[in-house]
Structure 1
Amino acid sequence: MIRITFIGAGSLGFTRGLVRDILTFPILQDSTLVLMDINKERLEFARKSVQSLIDKGKYPAKVEATMDRKEALKGANAVICTILQGGTDVWRYDIEIPKKYGINTNIGDTRGPSGIFRAVRTIPVMLSICRDMERYCPDAILLNYTNPMAMLCHAMQRKTRIRVTGLCHSVQGTATMLANWINTSMDRITYVCAGINHLAWFIEFKKNGKDAYPLIRKAIMKKKEIYMEEIVRNELFLHLGYYVTESSGHNSEYNWWFRKRPDLIKKYCTHGTGWNPGKYAFILNEYLKTEKTWKNEIQKWFKQGAPMSLERGHEFAAYIINAFCGGEPYIFNGNVPNTGIITNLPYGACVEVPVLANK
């Protein structure tokens, strides 16, 4: 029986969505789903959520919950990591302290002072997880969703024997957004995307086999509502000719010209209509709000009968696990060592490129 372990299962949104996706694959429907978290209350809510999905779909899967990481990893075929090391009480200082010295941060989970300190805090924990995997499930794959993605994966890929890749939804999310902008469906779109996590570029984006960039440029330049949806990313595209993954807020950090003065922040990072235009401490503030409401929200969800579609979502993890366990091979964008794949980035750096998953 296939055993899939979730480290950081108290990330309730991620856990519910990933379990739903996993259970849509026939060869995974009788899996044992092992949930592990250091927060007992969140872990119990996660267990109840997963059991609700199993019951709703009438799947033969089983769910286990434990606060013992080593116990959770024993015999695992695949491990999914969604931890936030230190929690928001610690993470907030990554954002607030640099602000005192003039560094206005939107997300702070990738690079800059905020990303570096987050990496320093998280790398030892990730390596510890890998050491436990080397002992208790050495043949398992590790799918990481924790940021800063490139730094964490680089450390794990250099220092452990575990097969690990990092996953992000910014590639498929951006591709879908661009398809919508040119009024087409994803089944007509093909693309090649490569770079660094949160800063990967669509070096090809085609509709029905033809270059779709002229259509995208026309949509951005002619329709104000499209330009306003992603101001920073659209400016980058209009100047560079290629579209980049992740939000305008993220990219305003990676291209600091957009954040170097208050007037530029106001012009480019406050008026966008997308999910993250670039306001200061955006995600931190969202997390702080959620900490006050998450318990009531999950209890309300249960009282309503735990409504949730059983249709598969767009995250890569379930497809990869299905392929790894003998299902259909799957191509996804993952974070792997650069072995000459991208020639103008350092050899050995962690890059986000198309990857083939199979048994």
Structure 2
Amino acid sequence: MKDSRICIIGGGGRLWAIQFMKDLATNSMTHGTLVLYDIDKEAARSNVEVANRIFAANKAEGRFAVVAKDDLGEALEGTELVIISVEPGNTECRYGDLVLPEEYGILESVGDTTGPGGIMRARRALPLFFEFAKQIEKHCPDAWVINYTNPMTLCTAALFKAFPKIKALGCCHEVFHLETFIAEQVAKWYGVEKPDRRDIHVDITGVNHFTFITGATWEGIDLMPKLKELAADPNTYPDETELAKKRIAEEKWFDCDHLIALSFLRDFGALGAAGDRHLSEFVPWFLSSEEQLWKLGTIRTPYAWRLSQAKEKKEKVFKQEDLIAEPSDEEGVDIMRSLLGDRTLLTNINRPNEGQIRYLPKGRIVESNGYISNDSIRPIMAMDPPLAIQNMVRQVSDVQQMTLDALYTNDDQLLFTAFLSDPLMKLPLDKARELFDKMLKASEIRY
């Protein structure tokens, strides 16, 4: 392949940016220039050194010239691929997203995609994405853009709102976890070694983090009857309260047993295709109390832990062993290779609806499967889920559209309408307005 110019917006990050560079180091097909841009300019410059150490540690020296740029336009000029992975504001901004709703009795398990916290995070993030899109249109209009930032649907929608012809997609790994879960069940059901998750073929539909599997096969075998049998078995759902408490004590915030995903299949006919922490936030019944969530083994990620993690990541000094690349389940580099013509890839994508999801309006950002190849993404028509799932997804998508429109036009009253329409909102009108006004102030972007 020819030399490529790749820009990471959020290039000073200590998680996604580092993982992308490690994946890049293991892919001998790509080479060229890697540009790191971050509002924290010192962090971006620091990651230049880390990147060079990564390439050296993985015998990929010389394949990429790594530079940091202080100006976004200069960083984007001539770029073929843009990766966006940013934190909109400092972690303290999330106090308004996570703690204030809890004071009013609204629980959130993640608070970065939906619910009052997701809406306020969007309020910080979307103005950044409107500007990113304008700068991409000016400096590299033909570049492909991969967004990793949450709220995934709204951040990706903001790119298309500001630059309708942008070539962008949102990339999320939540579906991969369900494919892995199904692969584990296949090993039990058929007495075989656990298949690679990529050998599990699923039909998916919905919006990011509220995505559903309507079909699943392995080596041509329809797996849905066995999955439905598993979901219908009362023994699948033991009281996991003690396990949840153990996870809290051990700070295993991201562990789950996919019991919420299975309960959607049992009750509504489609398997949830995201982790239980995310799925629980889009409907009102799982987060009715902490104890209700614990019964399903799911726990909420606390604000205090997020603060400590942000500090730990910022101060992290990478040891040599931290830089050795191992096979990753992320697909950013595979997507890049496909878009640049090195391979083709079938995977889940977040893109504007061209009709691949029939029960949502065209133009909305939806999650479905798609083929990625040289300078091309082709969405695949998704199977319609049962009507109850359609109705739930449609409500979420409508709230997202109101939020997008409100933030694009700086209309706080429309944003309040979206806030009231969210499935987690259960407060009287006066209390909802009180919480909204407090969150507007507490969640403002700051660094």
Structure 1 length normalisation: TM-score? 0.88
Q: Which residue of 1 aligns with 2:340?
A: 325
Give the C-alpha shift of residue 278 in structure 1.
Answer: 3.5
Give the C-alpha shift of residue 72 in structure 1.
Answer: 1.3
Alpha carbons 1:181, 1:226 under 8 Å: kept: no
* Amino acid across the alignment from 1:2: S
Q: Deviations over 1:204-238 (max 9, x none)?
A: 11122111123334556386599952332222222
Question: Matches of residues 258-337 of structure 1 in structure 2 within 5 Å?
Answer: 258-260=286-288, 262=289, 265-267=290-292, 269-273=293-297, 277-279=298-300, 282=301, 284-296=303-315, 298-299=316-317, 301-302=318-319, 305-337=320-352
Q: Which residue of 1 aligns with 2:92?
A: 89
Q: Deviations over 1:139-159 (max 9, x none)?
A: 101110111111222222233
Q: Which residue of 1 aligns with 2:39?
A: 38
Question: Higher mean Cα deviation, 120-129 or 54-63?
Answer: 54-63
**Cα 1:102/1:313, change in 2 over 3 Å:** same
1:237 and 2:265 aligned: yes
User: What SS does structure 2 have at the residue aligned with 1:34?
Assistant: strand
Show structure 1 runs of 5+ residues with no match: none
Alpha carbons 1:202, 1:243 under 8 Å: kept: yes
Identity %: 27
* Amino acid across the alignment from 1:358: S
1:204 and 2:206 aligned: no
* Amino acid across the alignment from 2:111: G
Q: Find the aligned partners of 1:306 and 1:71 in 2 and give their Cα distance.
A: 33
Question: Matches of residues 3-42 of structure 1 in structure 2 within 5 Å?
Answer: 3-28=5-30, 30-42=31-43
* Amino acid across the alignment from 2:263: E
User: What SS does structure 1 have at the residue aligned with 2:309?
Assistant: helix
Alpha carbons 1:9, 1:37 under 8 Å: kept: yes
**Cα 1:270/1:200, change in 2 over 3 Å:** same
**Cα 1:209/1:223, change in 2 over 3 Å:** farther
Alpha carbons 2:133, 2:160 under 8 Å: kept: no
1:343 and 2:371 aligned: no
Q: Find the aligned partners of 1:39 and 1:85 in 2 and give their Cα distance.
A: 12
Which residue of the other structure, out of 247, 257, 264, is the alignment partner of 2:285?
Answer: 257
* Amino acid across the alignment from 2:284: W
**Cα 1:294/1:52, change in 2 over 3 Å:** same
* Amino acid across the alignment from 1:206: T
User: What SS does structure 2 have at the residue aligned with 1:355?
Assistant: strand
Show structure 2 runs of 5+ residues with no match: 188-193, 241-256, 375-447
Alpha carbons 1:34, 1:63 under 8 Å: kept: yes
Q: Find the aligned partners of 1:325 and 1:65 in 2 and give their Cα distance.
A: 23
Residue-pair matches, total? 345
Alpha carbons 2:339, 2:373 under 8 Å: kept: yes
Q: Find the aligned partners of 1:52 and 1:194 in 2 and give their Cα distance.
A: 40
Greater Cα radius of gyration, structure 1 or 2: 2
Give the C-alpha shift of residue 57 in structure 1.
Answer: 2.2
* Amino acid across the alignment from 1:342: I
Q: Find the aligned partners of 1:92 and 1:272 in 2 and give their Cα distance.
A: 26
Alpha carbons 1:20, 1:310 under 8 Å: kept: yes
Q: Which residue of 2 aligns with 1:176?
A: 180
Alpha carbons 2:53, 2:323 under 8 Å: kept: no
User: What SS does structure 2 have at the residue aligned with 1:194?
Assistant: strand
* Amino acid across the alignment from 2:172: C
Alpha carbons 1:182, 1:219 under 8 Å: kept: no
Give the C-alpha shift of residue 63 in structure 1.
Answer: 1.0
Which residue of the other structure, out of 193, 204, 209, is the alignment partner of 1:193?
Answer: 204
**Cα 1:162/1:188, change in 2 over 3 Å:** closer
Q: Find the aligned partners of 1:227 and 1:338 in 2 and give their Cα distance.
A: 39
Alpha carbons 2:239, 2:295 under 8 Å: kept: no
Alpha carbons 1:219, 1:226 under 8 Å: kept: no
Structure 2 length normalisation: TM-score? 0.72
C-alpha RMSD of matched pairs (Å): 2.2
Q: Deviations over 1:6-40 (max 9, x none)?
A: 11122212112112222333331x22111111224
**Cα 1:204/1:309, change in 2 over 3 Å:** farther
Alpha carbons 1:82, 1:144 under 8 Å: kept: yes
Q: Find the aligned partners of 2:12 and 2:282 in 1 and give their Cα distance.
A: 30
Q: Find the aligned partners of 1:227 and 1:152 in 2 and give their Cα distance.
A: 37
**Cα 1:70/1:100, change in 2 over 3 Å:** same
Q: Which residue of 1 aligns with 2:171?
A: 167
Q: Find the aligned partners of 2:183 and 2:269 in 1 and give their Cα distance.
A: 17
Give the C-alpha shift of residue 64 in structure 1.
Answer: 0.9
